[in-house]
Amino acid sequence: MNKKPVNGMRDILPKEMEIRQYVLSVIRKTYQEFGFTEMETPIVESMENLQGKQGGENEKLIFKIMKRGDKFDLSRAQTENDLADSGLRYDLTMPLSRYFANHQTELQKPFKALQIGPVFRAERPQKGRFREFYQCDIDIFGDATNLAETELILAMSTVLSRLGFRHFQIRINDRRILKAMAAFSGLQEDQYDEMFIILDKMDKIGLSGVREELLEMGLTEENADRYLNLFDIIEGKTGTDAVDAMKANLDGKLTDEVAENLKQIFTMVSAASEVPVELIFDPTLVRGMGYYTGPIFEIAVPEFQSAMGGGGRYDEMVGKFVGQSTPACGFSIGFERMISILLENGFTVPGSEKRIAFLMEKGLSPEKTADVLRLAQEERKTGARVLTAVMIKNKKFQKEQLKAEGYEEIREFYERPLEG
Amino acid sequence: MNKKPVNGMRDILPKEMEIRQYVLSVIRKTYQEFGFTEMETPIVESMENLQGKQGGENEKLIFKIMKRGDKFDLSRAQTENDLADSGLRYDLTMPLSRYFANHQTELQKPFKALQIGPVFRAERPQKGRFREFYQCDIDIFGDATNLAETELILAMSTVLSRLGFRHFQIRINDRRILKAMAAFSGLQEDQYDEMFIILDKMDKIGLSGVREELLEMGLTEENADRYLNLFDIIEGKTGTDAVDAMKANLDGKLTDEVAENLKQIFTMVSAASEVPVELIFDPTLVRGMGYYTGPIFEIAVPEFQSAMGGGGRYDEMVGKFVGQSTPACGFSIGFERMISILLENGFTVPGSEKRIAFLMEKGLSPEKTADVLRLAQEERKTGARVLTAVMIKNKKFQKEQLKAEGYEEIREFYERPLEG
C-alpha cells in the first residue's frame, strides 16, 4: 500500500492544523456575530448541476464519480459522462444556491448563510495550489439592497483585523460597469465575455497586452483606444470621484442607479468600518465566474500582494433551480492563501491552554496507573491539556520532544517514590 | 438544474448545524485536554489503498473517481477499476495509518491523533443512514500498553458525560479471545473470520440462530455446543470474574498475558472514571473490521439502545504501508447517531450569545445606514450576535420569524425619529 496522499492533495500536520482550527474559530465567531448561520451541503453534487454552466472554467476540472450497479454500463458507454452521474463540488456557491432553492420555505429571510468546507478542482499540481482546498463563504439571500455588499465587506474586514492583519485594500467594481464599458467600445453583448477574459489579464500583460488582444478579437484601433482611454480618465481619482468620472465618460451607457448604488457602498463601508480600509474603484476587476450580475469586490492585504478573498452579487443563480430568482450576494475567503501567509509569518495561536505531561514508569501497576489518570482528570478540570504517556528508554529525548510541543510542565510517576 | 441533493446524501439545516458544531466543539476540547492533537487527510485516497483489504465489507461500497486526461482510456477498459484510480475514503482509520506511516519522523511519540471529517459509503439509502456521514476518531500510535485502551475509553466517556449523557455501558472483548474460543471449538485459523461473521449476528438471530449457522458452516454438533457453552459459563459473572471464568474453560488456548491485559483495562477504567460506567466483558462482541488485533470495545447509552462508538487495537495496519509495524489503538464516535439522539430529545445548545436584530426602514440613507452598522459593531464587541436587515412590508411576520430564531431584542431604525 502507498503511504503518500493522492497526487495534488496533502496531509495536514498538527502544527498547521492548530492554526487552521484557530482561524476557522475566529471566522465562525465573527460571522455569527454578524448574524450568519452555519449550514452544510454534501461534498458530492449531481453532474447535471456541476455542468450547469455556473462554474466557468472550473467545470473542466471536475472529479467525476462513477455510476454504480446496473447504471454502470461499460459496453454502451461512448464518453466519460455516460459513466458518471455525480462529482465533487468545485465551489460552495452553486451547492448553496441549490440548498437555498430546496429549503427556502424553512429558512429565515433574508437568509444569511455561513458555509465552510473542502472543494475540489483537478488542476495541474503546482507549488501552493492543491486539488482539495477549503473555502469559507458567507452569502446573503433575499436582500436586493447594497446593505448586503456592505455587510459582507465589513464582516470580512473584521475577520482580517481579528487575525492581526492591518491595512486592507478593497477593490470594487460592478459587472454592469464592465458591460457599459464594453458597449461604449462598440461591442455586441455576445462578445462581452471574451473581452472580460482579456481584461482579467491586465495585471499580467498590462495595458499594451490588453490592447493587442482586443485588436486580435476584432476591435478597431479606434474602439480599443476609446476603451483603454477610460482607464486614463479615472487615473488619480479615488472612490466615488472615480465612479463619477467613469460615468460621465460612458455616453449614458451607465445608469444613475448603478453608479449611485456603487457609490453608496463606498460611503457606507468607509463610514462604518472600525478598521482603516482603502476603498478602490477598479474597473479592471472582473472576477472569473460568469454568474455575477452586480457589484463585485476583492480584499487584499497589500504587504502580501494577493487577494485574501472576494465575491459579488449573483441574482440569477437561484432561478436556475426554481422558477423564481432571488437576490443573492456572497463573499469567499481565500482560506488556504490566508493560512500560508500566517504560517510564513510565524503566526502562533494566542493564549493556548496550559500543557502538562504525566510520564509513567514502564510496567506501573494498574492501581497506580489509575491514580495517575485520576490526577490527570483533576488537572483537566482547570482547563489544562494533560498528556499521559509511558516513559520510553530515552527519557531525556522524550522530554525534549514534549517541551518542543509546548508541554512546559512534565511530571514523572513511579511505582515507589524515588529515593534521595 | 436539480434542487435536490444527490441520492443518499443530505443538506444540513441551520438548527441541526448549530448542534453539530456545538458537539464537535465539546469533542475537540475534551480530546485536546487528553493530549490528542488534530490532523487531517484528504477525502480522496488511492484505489490501491482503498482496496487494500483493510476495510472489510466497506470496500464494496467505495465511490470511485474516474481517471482523467490520457489515463482515461475507454477503448481499452475491461472493468470499472481500469477507469478509476482513486475514490472517497470509507473511514478515517486507513487514511490515518497511511498518514502516520508517511510522517512518523515528524510526529511526537506516542502520537495521539484526533481526526474529524466526512466519510463515504455507497450503502442502499434508508432511514437514518446516509452515504456521506461524519466520523470523529481518536487514535494512539506507538503505545503497546493498555494505557492506550484505558485513555480512549476515559476520553470518550468524558465526552458523553459533558454532553449530558448519564450511565454508560462499555462492552469489551479481545480479538485473541475470539480466536481462542474458535480454536477451542476445533476450528482452523482460515475458518475464524467466517465464524466471527456468524457470531456478530448474535443480537439479531440469537443463540439458536448462531448454532444453526455454525452447523451450516461445518461444525459438528459437539463442537458447536462446546462453543456455545462458553457463553453459559460467564452468565451472571461480571468484569474480571467473567474473564477469569472464560480463561479457566478454554483449555489453555488463552494466554495469561491476554487475560491479564484485559482485566487491567477493567480495573483501570473503573478506578479512574469520574462518571459511573458499567464495564461488561462481552465475548460476542466482534466489531466488523478485520484489522483488529487485540482488545475491542463499544460504548452504549442503554436508554438509547445503540452503540455511541467503538474501537480497538490494530497493531498491524501501519505495517501495510511501511516495513515496520507500530502499535495502534483507536476509537470512533458514532457521530450521526449521537446527533440524531440529541435532536430527538430536544437538545439545545447551552448558553448561546445574546441575539439582537436591527431592522432598518427600506430606503434608509447611506449615512444613517452607516450609523446603524457602527452601532451594530459596538454591540458585537460585547459578544452579542447582531443581525442587520432591511424591514420587509410584513414587519410583524419578520419580527415573529426573528423571535423564533432567538432574536429576543429587536430594534427599529428610521430616517427620522418616529413621532408620538
Q: In sequence order, what E strands does B220-335 have?
A: 277-281, 295-300, 307-313, 328-333
Q: Which of A348-352, A411-415, B370-374 is least confident? A: A348-352
What residues are paired with A88 via a beta bridge?
A: A44
Cβ–Cβ below 8 Å for A390 and B322: no
Using DSSP, how many helices (H) and how many strands (E) does chain B show?
A: 13, 14
DSSP for A237-284? Answer: --HHHHHHHHHHTTTT-S-HHHHHHHHHHHHHHHHH-SS-EEEEE-TT
In a 3-state reduction of DSSP, which class is residue A398?
Answer: helix
Dihedral sign (CA A68, A73, A79, A81) = negative
Cβ–Cβ below 8 Å for A268 and B390: no
Query: CATH fold of B168-293, please?
Result: BirA Bifunctional Protein; domain 2 (3.30.930)
Which 8-state DSSP code applies to residue A183?
H
Could you tell me the strand order of the sheet in which B277-281 lies?
B37-38, B111-120, B132-141, B328-333, B307-313, B295-300, B168-174, B277-281
A217/A214 Cα distance (integer angstroms): 5
Q: Which residues of chain B from 28 to 47 reach within 8 Å of chain A, CB to CB? A: 28, 32-35, 37-46
* A106 contact B CB<8A: yes
Nearest to B3 among A131, A322, A387 (CB): A322
**Tens digit of each residue's pLDDT (9 = 90 or more) over A69-87:** 888 888 888 888 899 999 9
* A413 contact B CB<8A: no
**Tens digit of each residue's pLDDT (9 = 90 or more) over A151-193:** 999 999 999 999 999 888 999 999 999 999 999 999 999 999 8
* A418 contact B CB<8A: no
A271/A168 Cα distance (integer angstroms): 15
Interior angle at CA A186, CA A181 and CA A187, nearest 5: 80
pLDDT at A419: 56
- Tell me the chain A residues in contact with residue B154 when contact means C-beta distances shorter than 8 Å: 373, 377
- Tell me the chain A residues in contact with residue B9 when contact means C-beta distances shorter than 8 Å: 42, 44
Residue of B21, B33, B99, B362 to mutate, testing the A interface (most A Cβ within 10 Å of its Cβ): B33
What residues are paired with A278 via a beta bridge?
A: A169
Nearest to B2 among A49, A65, A147 (CB): A49
Per CATH, the number for A1-164+308-352 is 3.30.930.10
- The count of other CB atoms within 10 Å of the CB of residue B33 is 23
- The count of other CB atoms within 10 Å of the CB of residue A305 is 8
Chain B residue whose CA is closest to A385? B33
Residues 6+ apart with CB under 8 A from B420: none
Contact A219, A185 (CB under 8 A): yes
Cβ–Cβ below 8 Å for B2 and A48: yes
**Tens digit of each residue's pLDDT (9 = 90 or more) over A289-317:** 789 999 999 999 888 877 899 999 999 99
Contact A385, B35 (CB under 8 A): yes
pLDDT at A420: 46
Q: Which residues of chain B from 169 to 228 reach within 8 Å of chain A, CB to CB? A: none
A389/A368 Cα distance (integer angstroms): 14
In a 3-state reduction of DSSP, which class is residue A43?
Answer: coil
In a 3-state reduction of DSSP, which class is residue B257?
Answer: helix
For residue A209, pLDDT over 90 is answered with: yes
User: CA of B209, closest CA in chain A: separation in Å?
Assistant: 31
- Tell me the chain B residues in contact with residue A106 when contact means C-beta distances shorter than 8 Å: 13
Interior angle at CA B237, CA B231 and CA B238, nearest 5: 110
In a 3-state reduction of DSSP, which class is residue B178?
Answer: helix
Nearest to B321 among A3, A151, A405 (CB): A3
A297/A309 Cα distance (integer angstroms): 9
Cβ–Cβ below 8 Å for A98 and B360: no
B27/B137 Cα distance (integer angstroms): 10
Nearest to B366 among A9, A52, A264 (CB): A264
Cβ–Cβ below 8 Å for A357 and B35: yes
Which 8-state DSSP code applies to residue A61?
G
Q: With left for phi above 0 and alpha for psi between -120 and 50, is residue B84 left, alpha or beta?
A: beta
User: CA of A226, closest CA in chain B: separation in Å?
Assistant: 33
* A396 contact B CB<8A: no
* B81 contact A CB<8A: no
A318/B410 Cα distance (integer angstroms): 29
pLDDT at B128: 77
**H/E run at residue B111:** strand B111-120
Chain A residue whose CA is closest to B318? A3
Cβ–Cβ below 8 Å for A1 and B52: yes
What residues are paired with B329 via a beta bridge?
A: B140, B313
Tell which residue, A353, A307, A347, A45, has the closest CA to residue B33: A353
Nearest to A380 among B33, B132, B380 (CB): B33
Q: Which residues of chain B from 229 to 268 reach within 8 Å of chain A, CB to CB? A: 264, 267-268
Residue of A27, A29, A36, A40 to mutate, testing the B interface (most B Cβ within 10 Å of its Cβ): A40
Contact B418, B388 (CB under 8 A): no
Q: Chain A to chain B, count of Cβ pairs less than 8 Å apart?
A: 296
Q: Which residues of chain B from 327 to 356 reach within 8 Å of chain A, CB to CB? A: 353
User: CA of A211, closest CA in chain B: separation in Å?
Assistant: 34
Q: Which residues of chain A from 135 to 164 reach within 8 Å of chain B, CB to CB? A: 143, 145, 147, 150-151, 154, 158
**Which residue is it, cell 498590462?**
A206
Cβ–Cβ below 8 Å for B52 and A360: no
How buried is A190 (Cβ within 10 angstroms: 0-12 exposed, 13-18 middle, 19+ buried)? exposed
Cβ–Cβ below 8 Å for A39 and B110: no
- Tell me the chain B residues in contact with residue A264 when contact means C-beta distances shorter than 8 Å: 366
A167/A154 Cα distance (integer angstroms): 13
pLDDT at B238: 85
User: CA of A218, closest CA in chain B: separation in Å?
Assistant: 33
| ipTM given for this complex | 0.93
Q: Which residues of chain B from 7 to 26 reach within 8 Å of chain A, CB to CB? A: 9-14, 17-18, 21
Chain B residue whose CA is closest to A83? B66
pLDDT at A418: 60
B128/A373 Cα distance (integer angstroms): 37
Cβ–Cβ below 8 Å for A2 and B268: no
Per-residue model confidence as pLDDT tens for chain B (420 residues): 999 999 999 999 999 999 999 999 999 999 999 999 999 999 999 999 999 988 888 999 999 999 998 888 888 888 888 999 999 999 999 999 999 999 999 998 899 999 999 999 999 878 878 999 999 999 999 999 999 999 999 999 999 999 999 888 999 999 999 999 999 999 999 999 899 999 999 989 999 999 999 999 999 999 999 999 999 999 989 889 999 999 999 999 999 999 999 999 999 999 999 888 899 999 999 997 789 999 999 999 888 877 899 999 999 999 999 989 999 999 999 999 999 999 999 999 987 789 999 999 999 999 999 999 999 999 999 989 999 999 989 999 999 999 998 999 999 999 987 654
Chain A residue whose CA is closest to B79? A74
Residue of A10, A33, A71, A400 to mutate, testing the B interface (most B Cβ within 10 Å of its Cβ): A33
DSSP for A303-356? Answer: GG-SEEEEEEE-TTSGGGTSSS---EEEEEE-HHHHHHHHHHTT---TTPPPEE
Residue of A38, A44, A364 to mutate, testing the B interface (most B Cβ within 10 Å of its Cβ): A44
pLDDT at A416: 85
B124/A116 Cα distance (integer angstroms): 28
A64/A45 Cα distance (integer angstroms): 10
Domain boundaries, chain B: 1-164+301-352, 168-293, 355-413
On the question of a common fold for A1-164+308-352 and A168-300, the answer reads yes
Cβ–Cβ below 8 Å for B49 and A366: no
Contact B328, B314 (CB under 8 A): yes
In chain A, % of residues over pLDDT 70: 99
Residues 6+ apart with CB under 8 A from B260: none
- Helix ranges, A111-255 (H): 147-162, 175-184, 192-199, 202-216, 221-234, 239-248
| CATH architecture, range B1-164+301-352 | 2-Layer Sandwich (3.30)
Per CATH, the number for A168-300 is 3.30.930.10
Interior angle at CA A39, CA A35 and CA A41, nearest 5: 150
A328/A326 Cα distance (integer angstroms): 6
Residue of A4, A6, A89 to mutate, testing the B interface (most B Cβ within 10 Å of its Cβ): A6
Mean pLDDT computed over every residue of chain A: 93
Cβ–Cβ below 8 Å for A38 and B44: no
**H/E run at residue B148:** helix B147-162
Residue of B4, B6, B70, B262 to mutate, testing the A interface (most A Cβ within 10 Å of its Cβ): B6
Residue A18 has which C-alpha cell?
492548530
Cβ–Cβ below 8 Å for A33 and B380: yes
A129 vs A102, higher pLDDT: A102
Chain A residue whose CA is closest to B35? A387
Judge if pTM exceeds 0.90. yes
